[in-house]
Amino acid sequence: MDSWRVAVLGDGDVGKTALAVQFTLNCFTYDPTIEDAYRKQIVVDNKMCFVEVIDTAGQEEYATLRDQWVREGQGFILVYSIASRSTFDRLGAFRQSMLRVKRLKPIFILVGNKCDKMHEREVSKEEGAALATSFGCTFVEASAKTAHNVEHLFTTLVRLLRSTKPSDAIPKTKPSAPRVAIEDRKPPSCRKCFIF
């Protein structure tokens, strides 16, 4: 059984907690002193797996912590609200953090949340899809309120994670090493053999 740690990133008030709560509905009792409060067991392609959700809600103002979130997560859900243009515009910073910290290409899904608020829509579905294409990721519009596409986006992310990391478990320490280390910028010739 594989385990995946998924971080939900995005601006404030886009519905990150709502997505996490909706996904873990019926198996969720909030008690911060209990581990795995956000853990859920699901079946994807006839294979059981655990998904642990890292909810970054409340930390939006702490930009310095973004690297830590990315270090802790294996897969990412990049969330914006279709009813708020500003949340859509600020997604670039989160993608930059992912690209900076992750050595390999980060696995993430772009999610336009609150799709039940059609009459308040500020970001069109086409814009979301275009941004996802430029990011090189999958795009889904979902609604945590109505549970529309919530299960789907997590199963899609698990499939993506499995396709890139066939068998993985939640590491005990840091999930990945830094992608770019300033002090490692040495010419490739340094890694060749020595000539005496």
Q: List residues binding another protein (CB under 8 A).
A: 5, 7, 17-18, 21, 30, 32-36, 38, 52, 54-59, 61-65, 67-69, 71-72, 93, 96, 100-101, 173, 178, 180-184
CA angle 44, 41, 107 (to 5 degrees): 60
Least gap, CB of 40 to another protein (angstroms): 14
CB of 170 within 8 A of CB of 4? yes
CB of 107 within 8 A of CB of 157? yes
Choice between 54 and 107, CB closer to another protein? 54
Choice between 63 and 104, CB closer to another protein? 63
Choice between 38 and 108, CB closer to another protein? 38
Least gap, CB of 177 to another protein (angstroms): 8
Could you tell me whether strands 2-10 and 39-44 are parallel, antiparallel, or unpaired per DSSP bridges?
unpaired
Name the residue among 94, 59, 100, 69 with its Cα closest to residue 80.
94
Least gap, CB of 124 to another protein (angstroms): 26
Least gap, CB of 29 to another protein (angstroms): 8
How far the first Cα of the chain sits from its last, in Å, is 51
CB of 8 within 8 A of CB of 53? yes
Give residue 65's identity as a one-letter amino acid code.
L
Choice between 133 and 180, CB closer to another protein? 180
Choice between 36 and 126, CB closer to another protein? 36
Least gap, CB of 126 to another protein (angstroms): 27
Q: In this structure, how many other beta carbons lie within 10 angstroms of the beta carbon of residue 105?
A: 12
